Chain A
Amino acid sequence: MKTKRLVVGKVERSWLVGAVLVTLIYFSWWLNWDNGDNKVMYGLLFGTEVYHVLSSLLFWITIWPLSRGKRKQLVLRRELNLGQQPSVDVFITVAGEPVEVVEKTVRAARDMDYGNHKVFILNDGYVAKKDNWEEIRDLALREGVNCITREIPGGAKAGNVNNGLRLTEGEYVTILDADMIPQKEYLKTLLSYFDRPEIGFVQSPQFYQNSRENEVTRGAWQQQEFFFGPIMAGKGQLNSAFICGTNFLIKREALVGVGGLNETNIAEDFVTSVKVHQAGWTSRYTTEILAKGLAPEDLMSYYKQQLRWARGSLEVLFAQNPLFMKGLSWGQKWQYIFSALYYLNGIIVFVDIAVPLFFLMTGISPVKTSSSNFAFYFIPYILLTFLIINSISRGRLTFRAISFSYSSWWLQIIALISVITGKKMGFSVTPKTKQNGDYSALAYPHMAYVGLSMIGFLVAMYREGLSAGVVTNIAWVSFNILIFWPFIKTALGWSPREVGVPVGQEVAVVEVKSRNG
C-alpha cells in the first residue's frame, strides 16, 4: 500500500554538536555582565536569552535521534495480522460544524479498510446550543453510524469524549475532529504501531488539505508541518510524543486508566498525554498522513485556535508543570516543558522588540560593547540554527510560518495574562469554513510598532544623529518589522507572493511495505 508521509530531513550529528557549542559560546557573551549598560534592560534581555538558549538546546535534543546514523525508521513497515483484529471505537467529535463537513468524515470513517470498528458521532451541538445538532443526528441515521448526543454539558471536548467512553466498549479508541477525513488504511496503519504491549497511544499528523487555499491556511500549515514533521518525529523517538487532539489511536485501558481526557484544561490532549506517560505507558508517532482536515481559513479563526493552544499550554506550565510530576522520565519532562515553553514566546518577543524601540526613544542602551562584537557571537548561533532547521525540515519551514509564529506575540501575552489572573477562557471549536470580516485589527499592534519605530527614528536622529547606536537599533527594528511583514500583509488582505514550497511538493510519497507480508 502507498501512503504519504511528512518530510523529515536528516542532519549531521556534527552539526548538532557544533550547534550546542555555538549556543553555549553565544550565551557566554550574555553571562559577561560587563557588556551591560543599563542593567535593568540588560537583565530583561538576559532573561529572553535564557529562554532562547534553553529552547535551542531542547530543540537540538529533540532532533538528535533524527540525526544521520542515529535515526531509527520513522515509518514502521509491518502489516497487521488480520486474523487478530481488536475492536476499535471511532469517535468523531462534533460541536456545530457544518453537516457537509461532518458527512465526509463520517463516510470515510465508516468505510475504513478494517473489519472490527464502530463509528460514533459524539454530538455536542445540543449542549453547545448549535442550530444544526439535529441535522447531525439525522446524518448519523442516514449514514448508518452511531450518534451520542449529550444533554448535560461540561468539560467541553474532553467531556464529550469521556461521555462517549462511558457508553462504548471497544479495546481501542480513536478520535477524529469533525473535519478530519481518515484514509482507508487509517486504522490498520495505526494499529500496526502497537507492536509492544506497553504502547499506550500512537499519534499521526494533522494534515491540512486546504493548505493552499490562502495565506492563512498556508501559514498555519507551514507551522504545523514543522511541528508534525521533525519535532514530533523526534519526540516520538524519545518516547515523548503527545496526543494532539485528533488522529490518534489509544488503548481504552490507557485512557480510562487516567480518568479519560482531562477536563480541567482546554489543552486536554496535552495533559492527558502527561498522565498516560505517568501511568507507565509509552507512545509512538508516525509521520504518515492518515487523515486530512481543514486549516483555519481566516485570520480570526487562526487567532482563536492559537489563543486556545497558548492558554492551554501555559496553564500546564504554571498549574500542572510536568517538571514536578512523578512517573515521567527526565527526558519526557523536558520534552513537555519544551512544548509548553513555546507559548511563552509572546513575552519574549515583546521584550526583544521593545528594547531597540526604547533605545530610539530614550537613548538608554542595554549594552555598551560594540554591535560587531555581539555579532561575532550571535551570527554563528542564529545561522547554524536556521541551517539545521532548513536541513531537518528540508526547506519546508518558510518565512511566512516564522512570521505567523513571531507575530502571535500579543495573543500569547493575552493568554499568559489570562493564566496569571486565573481568568477562564471557553473552549471554542476552530471554524471549518471561512469567516468573512475585516481582520486588520489583528495587526494593529504590529502596525503600531511600525508607527512607533518611525517616531523613534526621528527622535533618535534629533537627539544624536545617525550614530552607530542609532543605526544598529534601526537595523533591529527593521529586523522585527520585516518579520511582521507577511503577517501584516495577510491581515490587511494584500496580495501574497509565494516563496514557499512549490505546489505539489508539500509532502513526499513513501511506499509502505509490510515486513511480514
Chain B
Amino acid sequence: MLLMFGASLVLGFVSGLTIFSQSIRLDESQSLWAASHTFEGVLRFVAQDVHTPLYPILLHVWLTAFGYNIITARILSLVFFLLSLVVLWLVLTENVEKRLILISFVVVTFSPFLVWYGSEARMYTLFMFFTLLNVLFYLRMVSQPIGGWQKWGVWYFLAGVGGVYTHYFFFLLLGVEAMYGLWRGISRQVEWKWVRNLALAQGGMLLALSPWIWFALKQGLFRNMAPSLTRPSLYGLMVGWVEYFIGYQSIKMTGTVLSLWPVAVLGVILFLTTWVKTKIKHVGFWLLWAVVPWAVTFVVSFWKPVFLPRYLIFTLPAILIVTSWIVVEVFRLRTRVWVLATIMIIMLGLFWRESDLEASRVVENYNKVALALNSEVGLTDKVVVSSPFTIIPLEYQFYHPNRIETIPKWNRYFPGPIPAFEMAKMEAQINEYKKTYTRLFVLLSYDQGYETKIQDYLDHNLERLDQKEYSTNMKLFVYRLRYDIDVPHLTAERP
C-alpha cells in the first residue's frame, strides 16, 4: 500500500509536469471541442466520430464544473489513471504471487506508454479503469465458480457497460473473457451454468449499448471524422508492441529495440525451460488477453483498417505483467528496493525522452505554431490548415482577428460530416484568397490522404516564401498570393 501511495505521488508529480508544460495535441483538442457542445451536441458529435460517448459526456460535466481549459481536461485523465492503479493493485494482489506483485505493479504503473495517456485529455485512462475493473470481477467469478456470480455478477456487468460506452474495442476484452470462460466450460473447470451466465451478462452489455449504436447509425457513424488508417504492416504491429515497453521514442530508437527481438525470444525460451517458481492464477486468460486482441485487430485491418496501438491499450497490463513474470523468473529477481528503483528510473527516463519537445515524434507542438502565427500573420494574410480538424488545436491559442479556414472548407458549427477533398474546390478556394490576401500560411499536420495533393498544387501555382517544421510532420508553409502589393518581411527567428 505504501508503494502504491508513493507511486501515485511520483506519477502525480510527473504527470503534473506534462499537464502544465505540453502543448495541446490534436486528439485533445477534439476532446475539448466535443465536450464544448451542449449535452445533445456532444452525443451528435461523438456519433459521427469513431468513439463512444461516455468520456466526452464525463469531460463535458467535468469542464462545466471546473473550467473549460486543457489543463482541467487533462486532470480528469490523471484522476482515472490513479483510480486504475488502485484497481490494478487489487487485480495483482488477488491473482499474482507476492514475489511478482510489486515488480509488475511498478512496471505497469510507470510504463511510458500508460503515463503518456495518464496526462492526455483522451478516454484511454477511463478505458483502462473499466478494463481493470471488469477483469477484477471476472477473475473473482472464475476463481469462485460457485456463488461468484451472485457476489460479483452485477459489478462485472456494470464495469462492462462502462467499458463498452468508453471504447468499442472493449468488446475485444469481452471476447477474450468469453474464450477463456468457454474453455473452462469445455474442460469442465466450471459448470455450463457459469458459462451461460457469462454469455447473458455480455449479451446484456451489448444490449445496453444498442441505443447508442442505433443513435450513432442514425447520425451517420464514422462520417469523415475518423482518422484515415492504412492497412498495418508486420513492422507496424511489432512497433506497436515495442511502444508498450518503451513508449513513443524516436524511430531510430524504436527500430533498434525492435531489432533485438531474437534476444527477447531467447528470454522466453529461457523462461519455458526454467522451473517456474511464481504462479499467476488463470495464466491462460492473461496470455489470451495479451495476444488475441492484437491478432484479431491485425487480421481485421486487412478488411477494414482499425489498427492503432493505443486502441489496444487495454491489453497493456496483461502484456507488461506477463513480461514482468518472465523477467522475474529468468533473472530470479527478488523484490528489493534497488530493483524497483531501477525499473522506475528506466521507465521515467523513457517517459522523459518521449516527452522531449525537440526529440519526440509524437509531441504535436500546436502551441508553438499558434504563437508564431500570432506574431507573423498580418491583416492581409490568410491562414489555412489541413486536415480540417487540425483547426481545433491551432485555434486554441491563435488570437489573430483573421479567421482560420480549412482545406477542404469545413464549418464546424454546421451539423454533418467534414466535406470530402476535391481539387476543383480547393483551386476555387485559393483563387478566392488571391482577391483579398497577399500571403497564405498553410499548416499541414495530419494527412488524411490528400496532403501531398495540396502541397503539390501550391508549390506549382504559388511562390513559396518560407517553410518551417515545428514538430514531426507538422509543417508550416508560407506562399505569396499576389504581386501587386509588397509582402511584409518575414521574421528572422526560426523555431
Q: Which residues of A contact B (CB under 8 A)?
A: 370-373, 375-376, 378-379, 382-383, 386-387, 389-390, 395, 397-399, 401-402, 466, 468, 471-472, 475-476, 478-479, 482-483, 497, 499-502
Contact = CB atoms under 8 A, between A and B. Distances in A.
A395 B237 CA distance: 31
Interface of B: 234-235, 237-239, 255-256, 258-263, 265-266, 268-270, 272-276, 332
A370 B273 contact: no
A399 B273 contact: yes
B272 A476 contact: no
Contacts of A478: 262-263, 266
A373 B275 contact: no
A378 B255 CA distance: 18
Given A472-B262, A475-B261, A386 B269 contact: yes
A72 B208 CA distance: 50
B265 A390 contact: no
A76 to B, nearest CB: 28
A390 B237 CA distance: 27
A468 B261 CA distance: 12
A143 B274 CA distance: 45
Contacts of A468: 255-256, 259
A476 B262 contact: yes
Contacts of A398: 273-275
Contact of B260 (A378, A390, A475): A475
Contacts of B255: 468, 471
| Interface secondary structure of B, over-half rule | helix
B262 A389 contact: no
B266 A483 contact: yes
Sorted nearest first, the 7 A-B pairs with minimum C-beta distance are A471-B259, A399-B273, A475-B262, A386-B272, A472-B259, A376-B234, A372-B238
Nearest to B259: A471
Contacts of B263: 475, 478-479, 482
B299 to A, nearest CB: 12
B276 A395 contact: yes
B34 to A, nearest CB: 36
A402 B273 contact: yes
B265 A501 contact: no
Nearest to A497: B332
Nearest to B238: A372
Contacts of B272: 383, 386-387, 389-390, 395
A461 B197 CA distance: 60
Contacts of B256: 466, 468, 471
Query: Which of A373, A382, A499, A502 has the largest number of chain B CB atoms within 10 A?
Result: A499
B273 A386 contact: yes
A191 B167 CA distance: 67
A475 B273 contact: no
17 contacts: A372-B234, A372-B237, A372-B239, A375-B234, A376-B234, A379-B265, A386-B272, A395-B272, A397-B273, A401-B273, A475-B259, A475-B262, A475-B263, A478-B262, A479-B266, A483-B266, A497-B332
A500 B275 contact: yes
Q: Give the residue among B239, B268, B269 with the most A Cβ atoms within 10 A.
A: B269
Contact of A479 (B237, B259, B262, B332): B262
Contact of A372 (B258, B265, B268, B276): B258
A14 to B, nearest CB: 11
A468 B257 CA distance: 10
A382 B269 contact: yes
Contact of B274 (A375, A378, A389, A499): A499
A372 B266 contact: no
A475 B265 CA distance: 10
Contact of B332 (A499, A500, A501): A499
Given A390-B272, A399-B269, A399-B270, A370 B262 contact: no
A284 B262 CA distance: 40
Contacts of B238: 372, 375-376
Nearest to A376: B234
B260 A471 contact: yes
